[in-house]
Amino acid sequence: MAVPHHLKIVFRGIFATSPEEWSFSTKWDTDMSFEDDPNLSDIHADQVLAASTALFNNSKWAGGMKMTEWRAYFIKSDGLMEGNPRQELITPGSEPQGSAGARFPSQVSLCVTTEAAARGPARFGRFYLPGPAAAVQADWRMSEADCEAYLASIVTFLKDVSDSIDVPGSTRSVDLVNISGIGTGTMQTVKTVRVGRVYDTQRRRRSQLEEAYEVSGDIDW
């Protein structure tokens, strides 16, 4: 059976004073087969902005990291987008953004793993959050306390985005889901979220950053 219709929400932003950009995506659906699928118009933009502001407007994130827009896509059971995406630009000056200094290169990311209950396809998913600012400790990992703080704020963010999608006629909020395109496709509801203490990297984020060199003179060996 094909994967049911679902919503894909992509969060996008920039690293200020740099040409680098970032994005991460989430997927959402109802877990009741008899209920209507969520549609683009069911998303409350003000609540998505509030959720993003609560996540990013603090010292857990580098100050140059700004969220400038989000886009939503209605994905059909064949995996293709139906119609045009919904694009919500954020008014300049009110972007969700971190307040810490620039701590790491732009490719350093916080990896978030989403885990469903059943083994097999769509058991695990992940997305990468840009611009984390928590320092690493002597073991080259962030502290347990910092990791716990990130995890709590991310879970709150995901629950708030879920609550922002109000499907008419449903008394339930939508679920974060993992989707696998293997075979006929599989969708599972996310049960738990994990954040690791070891930072990850997104190498593609270096592609736009102009390199500059300091060069020595002739070396007299």
What whole-number distance in Å separates Cα of residue 105 and Cα of residue 36?
43
Percent of the residues in the chain that have a pLDDT greater than 70, as a whole number: 91
- Residue 33: predicted pLDDT: 53
Cβ atoms of 155 and 54 within 8 Å: the answer is: no
Cβ atoms of 11 and 67 within 8 Å: the answer is: yes
For 86, half-sphere exposure in the C-beta direction (CA atoms, 13 angstrom radius) is 16
Q: What does the mean pLDDT of the chain come to?
A: 89
Number of H helices, E strands in the chain: 2, 9
State which H helix or E strand residue 116 sits in.
Answer: strand 108-116
The SS3 of residue 159 is helix
Determine how β-strand 200-201 pairs with β-strand 21-29. unpaired
Give the model's confidence band at 112: pLDDT under 50 very low, under 70 low, under 90 confident, else very high: very high
Q: Output DSSP code: residue 84.
A: P
| CA distances (Å), origin 82, targets 75, 78, 87, 103, 128 | 6, 10, 14, 40, 26
pLDDT in tens, 118-158: 888 889 999 999 999 999 999 999 999 999 999 999 999 99
Question: Does 163 score more than 70 pLDDT?
Answer: yes
| CA distances (Å), origin 124, targets 13, 155, 179, 201 | 25, 16, 9, 19
Give the model's confidence band at 1: pLDDT under 50 very low, under 70 low, under 90 confident, else very high: very low
What whole-number distance in Å separates Cα of residue 196 and Cα of residue 112?
7
- Residue 35: predicted pLDDT: 59
Question: Does 71 score more than 60 pLDDT?
Answer: yes
